[in-house]
Structure 1
Amino acid sequence: MLSRGDLTDEEWAVLEPMLPVSNSRCGRWRDHRQVINGIIHRLSTGCQWRNLPERFGPWQTVHKRHRLWSADGTWERPLQHVQAVADAASDIDWHINVDSTSVRAHQHAAGAPHVPPPVSSKGAARKISSGAGTPPVAAVGGGGAAGEALGCSRGGLTTKLHLAADGRCRPLALVVTAGQRADCTQFEPVMDSIRVPRLGQGRPRRRPDSVSADRAYSNGIIRTYLRRRGIRHVIPEKRDSRAARRRKGARGGRPPGFDAARYKQRNTVERAVNKLKQFRAVATRYDKRRYVYLGTVTATALLIWVRA
């Protein structure tokens, strides 16, 4: 009998063909459906791994499976496939919106040891975005709290989740940084993370029809980046930027275009954040390692797409 939150037969039929069958180190995997249901239970409740109900099997198996799949990108592959199927059916609204949200980190998220993440049977660690001005790096430990995407503030430890969502409130790209990172510094990493493969031949789709964002993303660097890629955008101009442009007169140039009707659709990314934070393991970060928390968010996004 299925319990609340477990995968239905229809959802399992979508996921099963995209999951690895065996591991070269351990042989054939334990029943994926039972383990994934245990991961979903932990995503929904935010409970400690040791407190998983016995019906999901040994908690060590569930924890290690999630940790390994977060490191080697296994969660990303079915997510991209589900997005590709939706795109082939014209079910993705490519008028996307970009925003970020702060996530309070539990005290158990601190103190990660400086050890590398586990590797898959192919021997490659997952690549994750390392933040502003740096290329993707392997998801390894080290660097203290900043290296694990933990930022210190008067409120304590925080992590920031940057994302792009389609017009149907589903995450298209996810980037995790320390809580003090400015939104504008992660705009390009988020946009560069959008990659929806084609079911047939052809390059993955990486360019949306239009982008909307709030004033936190209003600067010349972002506007130049979008113009260079030929992406229409709706980003309101900051008051100080408007005042400076007017002081320059004709030398200040024309004001950027602004479509008020299109900007009203920006609430879709806020609703996507709300969907993600319905899962307690996303709303509060309990994972010590950065790549594990990113895997937690990616697995949650996969569930949102499958259940949409």
Structure 2
Amino acid sequence: MKITKAQFKIIEHLLPVQRGNVKIANIQVINAILYIAEHGCKWRGLPEHFGKWSSIYKRANRWAKNGVLDHVFEVLQDADVINIQVNEVSLDSTIIKVHPDGTGALKKNGPQAIGKSRGGWTTKIHMVAADDRTAVTFSLSPGQSGDAPEGRALLKTLENCGWEGTNVIMDKAYEGDDTRQLVFDLDMVPVVPPKKNRLTPWEYDKEMYKKRNEVERLFRRLKGFRRIFSRFDKLDVVFRFFINFSLFMDRLISVNRP
């Protein structure tokens, strides 16, 4: 996978301008990060044709800590080049196994959403998706965290989005009263099946519920990037960097193929 010059022009103005005697252009750095994300290799494993690995690493690390790709992700959501038509959204989470290289950082270095569950050291990605290629928002939590509380925190970010009447598709992990009431408070419609032990079960749109697989397909696409399939990064800020990068790069390349 490689980004073309035409595709790069869509995001070029959103990246910091390099000043001084800079030998490695931003497009070269983007393609190097894409290689790392796709293949999951260490920075030292970058092929030589990308340039000096340490220079690329330093620039990528600076972008991560400055939230550069968070900004790119937000801008592309609102841009005409990637126009999100929201008729319904899906809420779900997925478990990411943490590689030994991703553990052991000092807490003072920054947040680390890593916890021990039955699967060992894991991180959860919680996501609201508009379709199988478009993430609306996401967050990280330790692997042992419950889905519903984290899901409610994400849903609250949708307030004042102008999506009144939009269906919110969720599985049974989110069928609790607090989560459903929050969706109603947002003037949205919860589409979630009740658990079998519900004394007063409700009706829900079963055909609409079938679209829940879209967020699962998005997770599948995201895990096609080896740097997401396993977490190698100790700090959340760097892991988020790769998630943002993989999301918008996959979308950008797929909808703007020459």
Q: In the TM superposition, what is the alpha-carbon distance from 1:208 to its structure 2 partner?
A: 7.3
Distance 1:111 1:82, change over 3 A: same
Q: In the TM superposition, what is the alpha-carbon distance from 1:169 to its structure 2 partner?
A: 3.2
1:31 aligns with 2:25: yes
1:77 aligns with 2:41: no
Distance 1:275 1:218 in 2: 26
The residue that corresponds to 1:42 in the other structure is: 36
Q: Could you list the runs of 5+ residues in structure 1 that have no partner in the other structure?
A: 117-140, 142-146, 196-202, 246-254
Residue in structure 1 matching 2:170, options 213, 222, 227: 213
Residue in structure 1 matching 2:120, options 143, 156, 168: 156
Residue in structure 2 matching 1:190, options 147, 150, 154: 154
Q: TM-score, normalised by structure 1?
A: 0.76
Distance 1:150 1:206, change over 3 A: farther
Q: Secondary structure at the match of 2:76?
A: helix
Distance 1:88 1:68 in 2: 26
Distance 1:167 1:174 in 2: 14
Q: In the TM superposition, what is the alpha-carbon distance from 1:155 to its structure 2 partner?
A: 2.9
The residue that corresponds to 2:100 in the other structure is: 107
Q: In the TM superposition, what is the alpha-carbon distance from 1:282 to its structure 2 partner?
A: 0.3
Q: TM-score, normalised by structure 2?
A: 0.89
Q: In the TM superposition, what is the alpha-carbon distance from 1:154 to its structure 2 partner?
A: 3.9
Residue in structure 1 matching 2:225, options 272, 279, 282: 279
Distance 1:34 1:204, change over 3 A: farther
Residue in structure 2 matching 1:229, options 160, 171, 186: 186
Q: Could you list the runs of 5+ residues in structure 2 that have no partner in the other structure?
A: none
Q: In the TM superposition, what is the alpha-carbon distance from 1:257 to its structure 2 partner?
A: 3.5
Q: In the TM superposition, what is the alpha-carbon distance from 1:10 to its structure 2 partner?
A: 2.2
Distance 1:230 1:157 in 2: 37
How many residues get paired? 254
Q: Is the 8 A contact 1:218 1:238 kept in 2?
A: yes
Q: Is the 8 A contact 2:133 2:251 kept in 1?
A: no
The residue that corresponds to 1:7 in the other structure is: 3
Residue in structure 1 matching 2:195, options 212, 228, 238: 238
Distance 1:296 1:55 in 2: 21
Distance 2:56 2:153 in 1: 31
Distance 1:160 1:88, change over 3 A: closer
The residue that corresponds to 1:54 in the other structure is: 48
The residue that corresponds to 1:98 in the other structure is: 91
User: Which protein is bigger by CA-based radius of gyration?
Assistant: 1
1:290 aligns with 2:236: yes
Q: In the TM superposition, what is the alpha-carbon distance from 1:185 to its structure 2 partner?
A: 1.2
Distance 1:33 1:169, change over 3 A: closer
Distance 2:213 2:5 in 1: 32
Distance 1:165 1:221 in 2: 21
Q: In the TM superposition, what is the alpha-carbon distance from 1:156 to its structure 2 partner?
A: 2.0
Q: Secondary structure at the match of 1:75?
A: helix
Q: In the TM superposition, what is the alpha-carbon distance from 1:92 to its structure 2 partner?
A: 2.3
The residue that corresponds to 1:119 in the other structure is: none
Q: Secondary structure at the match of 2:131?
A: coil
Q: In the TM superposition, what is the alpha-carbon distance from 1:114 to its structure 2 partner?
A: 4.0
Q: Is the 8 A contact 1:170 1:304 kept in 2?
A: no
Superposed CA deviations along residues 188-217 of structure 1, whole A, max 9, x for unmatched, are 22224459xxxxxxx865767221000000
